[in-house]
Chain A
């Protein structure tokens, strides 16, 4: 369960104060698949970074399973990111001199998973995101943008987090692979009770989420969507 309470993040730009996140409040049940849509620069990525404890809010709080992130010390925030969060960044942010499989193994290494276990799990995750096996050991800088996106998604899933925060996860993928990734995220949410919040411009992806939020000038509003069950019935 994630509770976002009156979240505000301001930045100074010269004499001006910008509020990309302005008094945002919402709740997400465990296992929910939700999306945030909005124009570029509307504050979607800033909101995502606040939820993932990459940044600290100016005011307000994020409460995860009853634990406040606002008062959590840095060391515990690191643990929170390692154990509970999986990030898919818009620009992938993979380590360029490591192979695909090494990149996927990194979060597991930080979590203390044994080498043999993490290597096997990394291989399975890369297969799940449909990366050709012979590319598992390729360096990241020798993979295409779409392949890097899939490695980034596999890395986010490495420690089986409770919350996946994905910034444009299908942005660099072809339609077929994008469909597969949407299906994968949906399965994780449904079968593994993983909460997934995606920031997207992809209408198809947004339409397949349980809840859809719109961020406009820092303010968040929820839009009505068909539920997965409804969507399945109505096709």
Chain B
């Protein structure tokens, strides 16, 4: 009978006690594994959020945003200033244009609607009217026509528009064209190309363009097709899907091309500034605002609520990690105490083994293996418990954290985020509940490896105690 076989036999010497020990170990190991699964799920979510928009700042001209407001436009020199701010890892400049269908502009002019033509231009950001052969993929609908009517009233008030006497042709929405100097959208997210390729060098003028999928469909275009902007021919080099109908009624060209089309070679509409880490976002935002000047630029953190979400997730991550370590330590302690008890109980037997020539290492190994048999059984049951309970435990942790954060926000504490959809945390609470904890084999295997590591440490102490037992123990009581 080998040491292993003897260890397995010893583990089942007292079946009732073995069952009790395995049950207690299974609870500790199951809890440890569930916490590890929750921790991994939250860690993954935090990384995902950080990798998306959590570290992006948006810079607009002070007093202006998009095609609204006023103030002075941003310049390439300001982009260079922004790039020199500490913790800023990249600055992407954009130049937005509003494209109107050339035929529709002509029809409106014929109907005497010069006010509409003015509105069809690039608005507050550019005085240049940009025409295209493309037709918008989004119908104006009630909202578009209502906005158009409001704008028309404003035009009449300025006294620059004439009164309309003929029936107005149907209004169509403009198309947003954005010049970019990196392959990302105007919010800083990477463009999701569904067909074709990117534009190559985004810092050079080119006649390539990326079209939203619905805009391409509306105009019967595919990769390789051509269209015009300001009577200049452009080739579709790729199609992208932004995920929204508005976002897909748009196109992207390189920044120099957009600046040339607008005849404003040094002008930027916005800057997308990426900070090197979530922790540095606040400091970078302050430094960026100071560097650019509050009267020149507005610096905003587009998805401020993400910070709240990540902060809550971080606390869940920390709690789950501490609980994992504690449960792991508990499992180790259980093993330690059980094995110390067994060593004390079997002092005489250990003495016998030594008396007949068993080396200390053999006896120690026998006890370590016996402990590992118990841990293996506890791990099997614990893994089953974890796979069933990890989702619930993660949800309980996250909902508990959300509640705490929400309560803090309502009190006006530092974690608060006023407004937004669905309550005080706004989108953050939705992000929190979107964390899915599933017990993947890899995580369970890593957890069990950690459990075995702790069990070996826990079993080594009593195993070393056996070395101190003298063989004369065997004669005690004789």
Chain A residues with CB under 8 Å of chain B are 45, 49, 52, 54-55, 75, 78-79, 81-83, 85, 87, 89-91, 93-95, 97-98, 102, 105-107, 109-111, 115, 155, 159, 167
Contact = CB atoms under 8 A, between A and B. Distances in A.
Contact of B472 (A54, A97, A107, A155): A54
Contact of B9 (A49, A79, A97, A155): A97
A45 B474 contact: no
B478 A110 contact: no
Nearest to B3: A109
A226 to B, nearest CB: 31
Contact of A54 (B1, B9, B10, B471): B471
Given A95-B352, A105-B1, A89 B357 contact: no
Contacts of A107: 356-357
22 contacts: A49-B472, A54-B355, A54-B471, A54-B474, A55-B470, A55-B471, A78-B354, A78-B357, A79-B357, A81-B356, A82-B356, A90-B478, A93-B355, A95-B349, A95-B353, A97-B13, A98-B6, A109-B2, A110-B356, A110-B358, A110-B359, A115-B2
Contacts of A79: 357
B9 A98 contact: yes
Interface size class of B (residues with CB under 8 A): 20 to 34
Nearest to B12: A97
B18 to A, nearest CB: 13
Interface string B1-33: 110001001100100000000000000000000
A130 B2 CA distance: 26
A106 B356 contact: yes
Contacts of A75: 359
Nearest to A158: B356
B9 to A, nearest CB: 6
A155 B471 CA distance: 17
A78 B471 CA distance: 10
A90 B474 CA distance: 10
B1 A109 contact: yes
A87 B10 contact: no
A89 B474 contact: yes
B348 interface: yes
- Greatest chain A CB density within 10 A among B358, B359, B470, B475 is at B475
Contacts of B352: 89, 93-95
B81 interface: no
Contact of B357 (A91, A97, A105, A111): A111
A167 B478 contact: yes
Interface in B361-389: 362
Contacts of B356: 81-82, 87, 106-107, 110, 155
Nearest to A53: B471
- B interface, by DSSP: helix, strand, loop or mixed? helix
A26 B440 CA distance: 72
B475 A106 contact: no
A185 B474 CA distance: 23
A105 B353 CA distance: 12
Contacts of B1: 98, 102, 105-106, 109
B189 to A, nearest CB: 66
- The list of the 3 closest CB pairs from A to B, nearest first, reads A82-B357, A55-B472, A93-B352
B361 to A, nearest CB: 10
Nearest to A85: B357
Nearest to B6: A98
Contacts of A91: 477-478
Given A89-B352, A111-B357, 18 more contacts: A45-B475, A54-B355, A55-B470, A55-B471, A55-B475, A78-B357, A79-B357, A81-B355, A81-B356, A93-B348, A93-B352, A97-B13, A98-B6, A102-B1, A105-B1, A106-B353, A159-B357, A167-B478
A200 B2 CA distance: 35
B3 to A, nearest CB: 8
Nearest to A77: B471
B201 to A, nearest CB: 74
B380 to A, nearest CB: 23
A34 B444 CA distance: 64
Contacts of B471: 54-55, 81
A54 B472 CA distance: 5
A147 to B, nearest CB: 18
A49 B475 contact: yes
- Greatest chain A CB density within 10 A among B355, B356, B358, B477 is at B356
A109 B2 CA distance: 8
A202 to B, nearest CB: 17
A90 B477 CA distance: 11
A95 B356 CA distance: 12
A91 B473 CA distance: 13
A110 B6 CA distance: 13
Nearest to B354: A78
A102 B477 CA distance: 25
A97 B5 CA distance: 12
Contacts of A167: 478
A85 B34 CA distance: 53
Contacts of B474: 54, 89, 93
B298 to A, nearest CB: 79
Contacts of A111: 357
Nearest to A50: B472
A105 B358 CA distance: 12
Contact of B478 (A45, A81, A85, A155): A45
Contacts of B357: 78-79, 81-83, 85, 107, 110-111, 159
Contacts of B478: 45, 89-91, 167
B78 to A, nearest CB: 79
A81 B471 CA distance: 10
A142 to B, nearest CB: 15
A106 B13 CA distance: 18
B355 A97 contact: no
Contacts of B354: 78, 81
Contacts of A106: 1, 353, 356, 358
A90 B358 CA distance: 20
Contacts of B362: 110
Nearest to A167: B478
A110 B477 CA distance: 26
Contacts of B470: 54-55
